[in-house]
């Protein structure tokens, strides 16, 4: 009889006391691997000390404008809780906000079980998501080897450091460090253009000579009316601006939101919501100008003194007749008067409302037309930016407290220095919109479509460092096109990525590295332009698993490619914080030393009174001309006129944008799609966060009129598609989005099924890589789609 | 195998056997398996009888038998499965930490992690990677239990023995048994590999065995 039969007969087939006893009786026990198993991970320790809770004030370095001081409650090396500042800690001169829903859930990012724990190398096809754990030694050695090989084979211009914004809220960030490394070791292909606000940054100076057109927000108390034009600080957390809007609302100042979507800002602050079709802003602006001029509400004295291009009497030399704003508004050249009725047909704002709005804006003196950065992320974004500056100028709202010059809205105040990036030996640079062309066909990258400081590229991009960035795939327009390029391992030969999670972009890494969070490294949190302080971002806890700060491993790579000393200059992270503070002190003498900073945690920069952009130019024009060629505000820009480009008008006229409200492509894809930034994410950071997913589920907003036509009810699974891709997503039928427009939140993680249909709700499956005419920038907000019930 | 009938209450070897099973489970969950080590297990003369008394071991045995003939492909797939299940970088389908199941936020390093740490500290033990990695990983919790078992074996004093058994019992009930059943369920759903399905079964069998054994051992003192 075999053993098995005996046992079966006894009926013991599961582990139990009885069965074990039988086994115990059999013979000696097997030994496992020499007994090392008795104690492998626990060690006897005589010096255990129970640490009591400490509360460490610190600051995130995410790409979030809030820059709140948060308090990490630490017990025994573990962050047990995050708390916000108390009310009494508010400094009214330099306010910073209270931690938001994301901030209060930072622990959920920090201690997420899926956080990257070890360095990895790719083992499957690129993009497939198959990786294998390796040691740091192997990871760094591979990066050194590949960087050397590619540099030797293709030259330094084949090296590219991609946009990595996830830590740009800190003075020290991985992508910038990588650029330093590259610049020190022969150079790299650099890019320009901010995908956040590059279009307005490029266009606004054609009116004012600078994009620093913002007033400090404390001056808004003098406003009689505030137009938030595509501006949604409740959800985007635009610096500390919310602090002020709350106060303005309390003070009873009228606020109007102009937006295709009834945003949370509109809900919270606006007395009125005026929806318009995306990208048609200039039609509304022009009709407002028409009413203002027709009714004589413009500020003639101001225009006479400070402005070029308003009417035929104030035009630059060498321009033919009928090119001024007034000629345009009254149809002197095209025969079309830019009446409210004309605009209504385009932008869908009722003519009566346009007239009312124009009168209100022109007569509330002063009034602030504040442009957000969503509208300028359109194909027509540059014209929209200049349209705002036109309205501000004709009403004389420039250079006065309570007014607003409009356009970009930058506020140049005090900032800390960064870690220097030395001169790049590679002189050519590309627009960020050119990087995939620079991989596949550099001859396509010409000065016409974005190449700067050179007339051709000398190499394809062969090496990519992608640190703290999800722009490789997720945030990049036209994901389907991009991923094909990255999947081809013969094109880009090596990609190194560092991150906290396996993001859709990190999936395309050949070497994938676990990065530390802001709780695990030293940095300085920098407020956005509207705030005036720096906060020490301290290392609060040990690194999670084997994560390491990018500075650490980049230093080793620098060593390996022979520029170790030049890269570190012998400093560690704290050494660089000292350096930054010392350098900043040379410009701002009140900058604290590191020791002082460690004590006070936050440093406020003080000013005497609010900043009003162009105050000097208006009060003392003789000694303070505008920095434009004419020395005046240029509603008509001769420089733009001379470009002679059909999409770059010299005055901000309405020109239908491609894939916009009037594109014939609407016959196939009849809906415009836009995206918003939600309060549960900072760009795409936190998109994998289950709790924050509950805060705002990824859905497609569609107006009841459009839904009904398509038989769509709330909660239905719908397919949203165009020629570039398809997304499956649930529908939210709501009047909070206007008819003809659908909207979804930006930053959801791309999650393709086996047919390549995105199930994550990532809008960049639908966005286009077509560039804006002037800035050669991005148009993430311009796309036509169709929606179908599935 | 005539000794079966003559088996008696043999405390020391019983403890040794618990240790063996405990160690074996830790071995499986600690790292991707090494083929040679797995084969060594099943070649031991006591392996077969063990399979007869445990469903988990039987499944594990089946999967290791498969590896006897292997050109390297099978063990590679097994190792890849370990990485997929427990290392990442993709989302982990059956996380190995107590706090993910019992913590209020389902994260690593939760309040329960600190409670587990406290249990270790009462015996003067610390996790060698404390604060970098959480203390409540399955392998470490099992190691703590095995530490207590070993201490019981080495101990002469009845009162101390009793206390050791009490501590084992409360650690088992307050921690391992509270989350491992869910973990085992998740794991057996998440994998098609018999080794890990077997491991899930075995872990559950083992913890239930301990639950039955510890009070009995105490009673017998
Ligand atoms: S995510 Fe932004 S707004 Fe929220 S707490 Fe952090 S810094 Fe503040």
Domain identity same for A482 and A539: yes
CATH superfamily of B6-220: TorD-like (1.10.3480.10)
CA–CA distance, A349 with A355 (Å, rounded to integer):
10
- Does one domain contain both A592 and A510? yes
Chain B residues inside the 8 Å CB shell of A542: 131-132
Q: Reduced to 3 states, what is the DSSP secondary structure of residue A625?
A: coil
Question: Chain-wide mean pLDDT for chain A?
Answer: 92
Q: Which residue has the higher pLDDT, A18 or A137?
A: A137
Atom of ligand 1 nearest to the CA of A525: 7
Peptide bond into B89 cis (omega under 30): yes
Select the more confidently predicted residue: A359 or A169. A359
Residues A445 and A501 in one domain: yes
Which among B37, B83, B95 has CB closest to A33?
B37
Cα–Cα nearest to B171, from B108, B125, B220: B125
Residue of higher predicted confidence among A237 and A423: A423
The reply to whether A83 falls in a domain is no
CATH code, domain with A475: 3.40.50.740
The answer to whether A580 touches A418, Cβ cutoff 8 Å, is yes
For residue range A96-110, what is the model confidence (pLDDT) as tens digits? 878 888 888 899 899
- Mean pLDDT (chain B) is 91
Query: What secondary structure does DSSP assign to A311-364, as a single string?
Result: SGGG--TT--TT-SHHHHHTTTTTS----HHHHHHHH---HHHHHHHHHHHHHS
Decide: helix, strand or coil at residue A15. Answer: coil
Distance from C-alpha of A719 to C-alpha of A785, rounded to nearest angstrom: 10
Full residue range of the structural domain in which residue A383 is found: 200-312+352-412+613-643
Q: Which two tokens stand for residue A410?
A: 């930058």
In angstroms, the CA A626 to CA A623 distance is 10
Restricting to A residues 456-515, those with a Cβ less than 8 Å away from any Cβ of B are 501-502, 506, 512
Question: Who's near A749: CB < 8 A, 6+ residues apart?
Answer: A474, A503, A504, A684, A687, A688, A760, A762
The whole-angstrom separation of Cα A74 and Cα A199 is 43
Which residues does chain A have within 8 Å of residue B3's beta carbon, measured at their own beta carbons?
Answer: 25-27
State the CATH number of the domain containing residue A767.
2.40.40.20
Same domain, A183 and A206: no
Note whether A262 and A184 are same-domain residues: no
Alpha-carbon torsion angle A101, A107, A111, A114, nearest 10: 10
Beta bridge partners of A660: none
Which atom number of ligand 1 is nearest to the Cα of residue A65? 2
CB contacts, 8 Å: B117 with chain A: 76
Spans of all domains in chain B = 6-220
pLDDT tens for residues A326-338?
Answer: 999 999 999 999 9
**pLDDT, tens digit (0-9, with 9 covering 90-100), for B113-158:** 999 999 999 999 999 999 999 999 999 999 999 999 889 888 889 9
pLDDT reading at A3 higher than 50: no
Burial of A456 per CB tally in 10 Å (0-12, 13-18, 19+): exposed
φ, ψ of residue A422 in degrees (nearest 5): -65, 170
Which ligand 1 atom is the nearest neighbour of the CA of A682? 1
Q: For the domain that residue A232 is a member of, what is the CATH number?
A: 3.40.228.10
**How far, CA to CA in Å, does B104 sit from each of A115, A228, A376, A557?**
18, 40, 43, 41
State the average pLDDT over residues A433-450: 96
CA-proximal residue: ligand 1, atom 6 (nearest): A103
Residue to mutate, A72, A97, A747, ligand 1, most ligand atoms under 8 Å from C-beta: A97
How many domains does chain A contain in total? 4
Q: Which pLDDT belongs to residue A7?
A: 34
Cross-chain Cβ contact A107/B129 below 8 Å: no
List the alpha helices (DSSP H) in A99-157.
Answer: 106-110, 136-154
Q: CA Rg, chain B, in Å?
A: 18
Least confident of A109-118, A235-244, A706-715: A235-244
Q: Contact at 8 Å (CB) between A553 and A541? A: no
Q: Contact A343/A662 with Cβ under 8 angstroms?
A: no
A441, A558: one domain:
yes
DSSP label of A465: E
Query: Could you read off the pLDDT of A589-610 as tens digits, one per residue?
Result: 999 999 999 999 999 998 888 9
**Last residue within a domain, chosen from A578, A604, A630:** A604
Based on the domain organization, do A440 and A377 belong to the same domain?
no
Distance between CA B25 and CA B146 in Å, rounded? Answer: 11
Q: Are residues A300 and A396 in the same domain?
A: yes
Same domain for A594 and A619, yes or no, is no
CB distance A30–B6 less than 8 Å?
no
Chain B: closest CA distance from residue A150 (Å): 27
- Residue A86 Cα to ligand 1 midpoint, Å, equals 15
**How do residues A534-556 score in pLDDT, each as one tens digit?**
999 999 999 999 999 999 999 99
Rg (CA), chain A: 29
Q: Cα(A410)–Cα(A408) distance, rounded to whole angstroms? A: 6
Closest CA to B77 of B95, B63, B90: B63
Asked whether residue A648 carries a pLDDT value surpassing 50, the answer given is yes
Counting atoms of ligand 1 from 1, which one is nearest the CA of A84? 5
Interface test with A, best of B29, B37, B43, B53 (most A CBs within 10 A): B53
Residue A8: the pLDDT is 39
| Model ipTM value | 0.93
Query: Which tokens is B116 given?
Result: 């587990």
As a residue count, chain A comes to: 790
Q: Both A421 and A375 in a single domain?
A: no
Please name the residue ranges forming H helices in A185-299: 198-203, 205-208, 233-236, 241-250, 264-269, 281-294
Is pLDDT above 60 for B6? Answer: no
Q: Taking a C-beta distance cutoff of 8 angstroms, is the pair B60, B195 a contact?
A: yes
Pocket of ligand 1 (CB under 6 A): A 60, 62, 64, 66-68, 70, 97, 99-100, 102-103, 237, 682
| Total-model pTM | 0.94
DSSP state for residue A452 in the 8-state scheme: B
Average pLDDT over residues A434-451: 96
d(CA A486, CA A160): 14
> For the residues of chain B, what is the DSSP string, one character each?
-THHHH----HHHHHHHHHHHHHHHHHHHHSS--HHHHHHHHHSTTHHHHHHT-HHHHHHHHHHHHTTS-SSHHHHHHHHHHIIIII-SSPPSS--BHHHHHSSS--SS-HHHHHHHHHHHHTTEEETTBTTB-TTBHHHHHHHHHHHHHHHHH---HHHHHHHHHHHHHHIIIIIHHHHHHHHHHHHHH---HHHHHHHHHHHHHHHHHHHHHHHHHHH-
Q: Quick one: pLDDT at residue A63?
A: 84
Chain B residue with the nearest C-alpha to that of A37:
B23
Q: What percent of chain A has pLDDT over 70?
A: 95
Of A34-43, A196-205, A462-471, minimum mean pLDDT range: A34-43
Instruction: Say yes or no for a CB contact (<8 Å) between A113 and B108.
Output: yes
Phi, psi of A298 (to 5 degrees): -75, 160
Describe chain A by its helix, strand, coil percentages, rounded to 5.
35, 15, 50
Residue A673 and residue A779 in one domain: yes
pLDDT on residue A674: 97
At residue A577, the 3 state secondary structure works out as helix
Rounded Cα–Cα distance for residues A439 and A459 (Å):
9
Residues A128 and A178 in one domain: yes
Q: Which of A780, A16, A504, A387 is nearest to B53 (CA)?
A: A16
Please give the residue that has the higher pLDDT: either A47 or B76. Answer: B76
Q: Calculate mean pLDDT across residues A671-691.
A: 80
Answer for the pair A165, A503: CB distance below 8 angstroms, yes or no: no
Q: How far apart are CA A152 and CA A147, in angstroms?
A: 9
Is there a contact between A166 and A518 (Cβ–Cβ < 8 Å)? no
Whether A782 shows a pLDDT value over 80: the answer reads: yes
**Disruptive mutation site among A12, A109, A113, A502 for chain B (greatest number of B CBs within 10 Å):** A113
Q: Which residues pair with A524 in a beta bridge?
A: A536
Over residues B195-216, the pLDDT tens digits come to 999 999 999 999 999 999 899 8
Candidates A384, A214, A399, A377; CA nearest to A286 is A384
Sign of the dihedral through C-alpha A600, A603, A606, A611: negative
A304 touches chain B (CB under 8 A): no
Distance of CA A444 to the CA centre of its chain: 27
- Give A64 Cα–ligand 1 centroid separation in angstroms: 6
Q: How far apart (Å, rounded) are the C-alpha atoms in residues A230 and A406?
A: 12
Question: Which pair of tokens denotes residue B45?
Answer: 């003369």
Distance from the CA of A68 to the center of ligand 1, in angstroms?
Answer: 6
User: Which numbered atom of ligand 1 lies nearest the CA of A237?
Assistant: 3
- Do the Cβ atoms of A30 and B46 come within 8 Å? yes
Q: Which two tokens stand for residue A228?
A: 């938030």
Confirm if A534 and A507 have CB atoms less than 8 A apart: no
Measure A695 CA to ligand 1 centroid, in angstroms: 15
């Amino acid at each position: 009889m075999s053993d098995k039969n005996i046992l079966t007969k006894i009926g013991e087939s599961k582990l139990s006391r009885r069965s074990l006893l039988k086994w115990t009786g059999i013979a000696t026990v097997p030994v496992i691997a020499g007994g090392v198993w008795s104690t492998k991970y626990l060690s006897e320790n005589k010096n255990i000390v129970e640490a009591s809770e400490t509360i460490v004030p610190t600051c995130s370095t995410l790409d979030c404008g809030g820059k709140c001081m948060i308090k990490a409650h630490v017990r025994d090396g573990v962050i047990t809780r995050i708390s916000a500042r108390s009310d009494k800690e508010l400094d009214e001169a330099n306010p910073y906000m209270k931690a938001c829903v994301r901030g209060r859930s930072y622990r959920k990012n920090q201690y997420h079980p899926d956080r990257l724990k070890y360095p990895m190398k790719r083992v499957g096809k690129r993009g497939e998501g198959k990786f294998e754990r390796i040691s740091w030694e192997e990871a760094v050695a591979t990066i050194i080897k590949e960087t050397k090989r590619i540099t030797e084979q293709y030259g330094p211009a084949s090296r590219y450091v991609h946009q990595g914004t996830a830590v740009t809220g800190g003075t020290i960030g991985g992508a910038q460090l990588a650029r330093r490394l590259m610049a020190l070791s022969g150079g790299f292909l650099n890019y320009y253009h901010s995908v956040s606000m590059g279009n307005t940054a490029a266009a606004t100076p054609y009116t004012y000579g600078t994009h620093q057109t913002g007033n400090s927000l404390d001056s808004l108390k003098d406003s009689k009316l505030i137009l938030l034009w595509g501006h949604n600080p409740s959800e985007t957390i635009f610096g500390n601006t919310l602090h002020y809007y709350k106060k303005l609302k309390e003070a009873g100042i009228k606020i109007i939101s102009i937006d295709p979507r009834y945003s949370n800002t509109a809900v919270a602050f606006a007395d009125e919501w005026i929806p318009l079709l995306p990208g048609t802003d200039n039609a509304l602006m022009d009709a407002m100008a028409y009413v203002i001029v027709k009714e004589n509400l413009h500020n003639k004295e101001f225009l006479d003194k400070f402005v070029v291009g308003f009417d035929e009497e104030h035009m630059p030399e060498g321009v033919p007749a009928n090119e001024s704003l007034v000629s345009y508004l009254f149809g002197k050249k095209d025969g079309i008067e830019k009446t409210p009725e004309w605009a209504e047909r385009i932008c869908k704002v009722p003519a009566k409302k346009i007239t009312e709005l124009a009168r209100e804006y022109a007569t509330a003196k002063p009034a602030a037309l504040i442009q957000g950065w969503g509208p300028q992320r359109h194909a027509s974004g540059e014209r929209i930016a200049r349209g705002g500056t036109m309205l501000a100028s004709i009403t004389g709202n420039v250079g006065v407290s309570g007014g607003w010059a409009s356009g970009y809205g930058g506020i140049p105040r005090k900032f800390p220095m960064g870690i220097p990036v030395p001169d790049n030996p590679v002189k050519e640079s590309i627009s960020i919109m050119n990087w995939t062309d620079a991989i596949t066909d550099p001859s396509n990258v010409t000065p016409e479509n974005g190449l700067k400081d050179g007339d051709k590229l000398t190499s394809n991009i062969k090496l990519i460092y992608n640190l703290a960035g999800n722009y490789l795939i997720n945030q990049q327009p036209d994901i389907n096109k991009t991923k094909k390029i990255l999947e081809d391992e013969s094109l880009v030969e090596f990609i190194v990525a560092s991150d906290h999670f396996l993001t859709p972009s990190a999936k395309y890494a050949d070497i994938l590295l676990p990065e530390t969070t802001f709780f695990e490294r030293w940095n300085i949190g920098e407020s956005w332009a509207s705030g005036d302080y720096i906060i020490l971002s301290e290392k609060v806890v040990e690194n999670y698993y084997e994560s390491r700060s990018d500075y650490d491993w980049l230093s080793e790579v620098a060593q390996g490619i022979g520029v170790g000393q030049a890269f570190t200059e012998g400093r560690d992270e704290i050494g660089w914080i000292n350096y930054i503070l010392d350098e900043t002190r040379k410009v701002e003498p009140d900058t604290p030393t590191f020791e002082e900073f460690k004590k006070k945690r936050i440093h406020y920069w003080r000013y005497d009174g609010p900043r009003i952009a162009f105050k000097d130019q208006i009060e003392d024009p003789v000694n303070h001309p505008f920095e434009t060629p004419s020395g005046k505000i240029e509603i008509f820009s001769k420089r733009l006129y001379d470009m002679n480009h059909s999409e770059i008008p010299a005055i901000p006229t309405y020109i239908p944008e491609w894939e916009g409200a009037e594109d014939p492509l609407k016959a196939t894809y009849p809906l415009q799609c836009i995206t918003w930034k939600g309060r549960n994410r900072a760009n795409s950071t936190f998109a994998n966060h289950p709790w924050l997913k509950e805060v705002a589920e990824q859905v497609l907003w569609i107006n009841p009129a459009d839904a009904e036509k398509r038989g769509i009810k709330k909660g239905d699974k719908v397919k949203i598609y165009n020629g570039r891709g398809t997304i499956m997503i649930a529908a939210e039928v709501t009047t909070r989005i206007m008819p003809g427009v659908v909207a979804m939140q930006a930053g959801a993680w791309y999650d393709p099924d086996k047919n390549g249909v995105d199930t994550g709700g990532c809008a960049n499956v639908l966005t286009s890589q077509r560039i804006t005419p002037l800035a050669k920038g991005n148009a993430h907000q311009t796309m036509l789609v169709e929606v179908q019930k599935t | 195998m005539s000794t079966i009938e003559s088996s008696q209450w043999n405390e020391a070897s019983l403890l040794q056997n618990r240790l063996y099973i405990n160690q074996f489970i830790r071995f499986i969950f600690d790292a991707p398996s090494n083929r040679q080590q797995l084969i060594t297990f099943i070649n031991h003369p006591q392996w077969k009888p063990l399979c007869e008394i445990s469903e988990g071991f039987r499944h594990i045995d089946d999967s290791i038998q498969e590896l006897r003939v292997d050109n390297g492909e099978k063990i590679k797939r097994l190792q890849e499965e370990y990485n997929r299940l427990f290392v990442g970088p993709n989302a982990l389908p059956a996380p190995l930490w107590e706090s993910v199941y019992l913590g209020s936020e389902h994260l690593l390093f939760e309040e329960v992690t600190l409670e587990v740490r406290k249990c270790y500290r009462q015996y003067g033990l610390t996790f060698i990677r404390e604060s970098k990695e959480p203390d409540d990983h399955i392998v470490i919790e099992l190691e703590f239990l095995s530490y207590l078992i070993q201490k019981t074996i080495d101990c002469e004093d009845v009162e101390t023995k009793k206390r050791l058994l009490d501590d084992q019992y409360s650690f088992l009930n307050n921690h391992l048994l509270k989350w491992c059943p869910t973990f085992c369920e998740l794991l057996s759903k998440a994998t098609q590999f018999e080794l890990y399905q077997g491991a899930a079964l075995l872990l559950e069998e083992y913890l239930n065995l301990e639950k039955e054994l510890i009070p009995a051992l105490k009673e017998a003192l």
